[in-house]
A and B are shown apart, each in its own frame.
Chain A
């Protein structure tokens, strides 16, 4: 085929010389930046493990870490798109607060008189209203940015003040509680986890998906005669992926229900309380599943769809994107609408977790979200960023926080450390980019 002859010279360039590590990285096509971030995360974990005397890398702490990171992680995936297009969204924490409050009012005050208490549809209605509201707020801000050309920094700075105040005003500053029982599942905890068996099922499905996607991409490359990864690299990637996923499931399954919760569970299910206590694995928490699902969906959106391609093209060269016939303004509106919807999902997670909505909910989350995206390698200059990086960034931020709590570091000092880490991460990134040129 004609394609073969064109591709042929490229395959020879693939076998370049270099050290064993370079050859390995080239063969597996692993993103070195991402690898660096995972390495940094592991260093942080090991550092805390040693300094806390073995408290950090326990199933319990890691389980909590995943739950705590999920809300910011959800928003960080959207923030990547915002920052990639050279915008910023300072209003996400306030949108979270406002939308969370509206969802709470919907399910605790408005719906019970209408459809009864603990109606199975309550959580769906509340969440739908929240997502629509979040998307509407985001789209509104996006339109001001795109069509009235007000800088995103200013529009969302306004949003930061407005939506926070709105969260206060709608209910005169009251705290709304409790949440619907089904809604609370989104917050994690003993009821909001899927248990050991289901977790293993999820893990196995993920492994199958990893292998299938590697096989599929190899097939696609073959179809057009592109250079293939060496066989061993494909096996290596498949095995590493599966071991990673199953390992994570194993860790999460090793965290058992705390004793008093397990006792209640035993009573409810008429199980006799055995001598050594019941060991009921919690498995993957629902908010973590949601965050992972959203991360996968967002990765798909950014790498496999037109919309994602346009987002990156606009970030790389807005003028070129416009000249190529892309409706850049509408893409901007859609990005902010998506960001708003993700804020609503994050709001659902955090109100469900707290079992209440307060007007202060999500305060400073905009900064954690931006920091997660930036630590994850999203460039504020635009055009560069990955969803996976942002998720790792969110985990890094949460690891620092929870590690310092375990070390009993004072809150102000925690903020100082996180601030320093943020600046250092961006500096390292600049150095990396400078070298890469």
Chain B
């Protein structure tokens, strides 16, 4: 169905190596508007690395990135943000020593006509966004350090959606969260999807993934094993892809697929 439209993001034949190790090897993934694509794989399979190339944290060695069909050059996080790509990192990339509003606007501060920081306006907007995301959030004046894991996560998510992202990358967004907060994040993902935002969801919890994702792409040893629509495959088949690299009939094999003898 979606296959006839132009993909929002297309990463083609991406490779990157660190000191001779092919962290990502000839990997291709794509993402359509309003779609959630889960990237699955073991630790060290190359999911995070692949996605960091898209978010501008790493520079690819080979391959190309197309956004709305146009080839783009992404060489730093600012470039990525310019294309509406926002990232929520696994490591919760927040500055611990400043407050929530400062983190939300980090790198894109609101300023008064005199060029000074408009803290009050930033705090007002932060209260609004956080009120939508996590109504229990009150601690606007405290450094983020003082917050719980879930609260910090909601700060990180709020930062990503604050600036009208079109492409959202979520690297293990629920890793630090309790069950209730995880459910909240799930709701949020569905809401963002309805708004037409494309989401890359990185996870190694396939239960999460089957609830939220439209498609899965599985990586192993830096290569794409294959991808499939979630309705065409079972959890066990996806597990087989993750662990063995075995591609089930409902999936399309990639370069990393197990060679059937």
Contact = CB atoms under 8 A, between A and B. Distances in A.
A383 interface: yes
B98 A313 contact: yes
Contact of A322 (B77, B121, B138, B140): B77
Contact of B109 (A3, A6, A309): A309
B128 A325 contact: no
A309 B118 CA distance: 12
B78 interface: yes
A362 interface: no
A402 B124 CA distance: 48
A323 B89 contact: yes
B98 A7 contact: no
B13 interface: no
B130 to A, nearest CB: 8
Given A323-B87, A325-B78, A312 B120 contact: no
B107 A324 contact: yes
Place the interface of chain B in its size category: 20 to 34
A7 B93 contact: no
Contacts of B97: 312, 315-317, 383-384
Interface in A301-335: 303-306, 308-309, 312-317, 319-326
Contacts of B128: 2-3, 6
Contacts of A313: 95, 98, 102, 106
B121 A320 contact: no
A324 B106 CA distance: 6
A83 to B, nearest CB: 13
Contacts of A325: 76-78, 81, 107-108
A320 B127 contact: no
Interface of A: 2-3, 6-7, 9-10, 13, 220-221, 223-224, 226, 300, 303-306, 308-309, 312-317, 319-326, 383-384
29 contacts: A3-B124, A3-B127, A7-B127, A9-B138, A10-B127, A10-B138, A224-B120, A224-B124, A226-B123, A226-B124, A304-B116, A306-B111, A309-B98, A309-B106, A316-B95, A316-B97, A316-B98, A316-B143, A317-B93, A317-B97, A319-B91, A320-B93, A320-B95, A320-B106, A323-B87, A325-B78, A325-B107, A326-B106, A326-B107
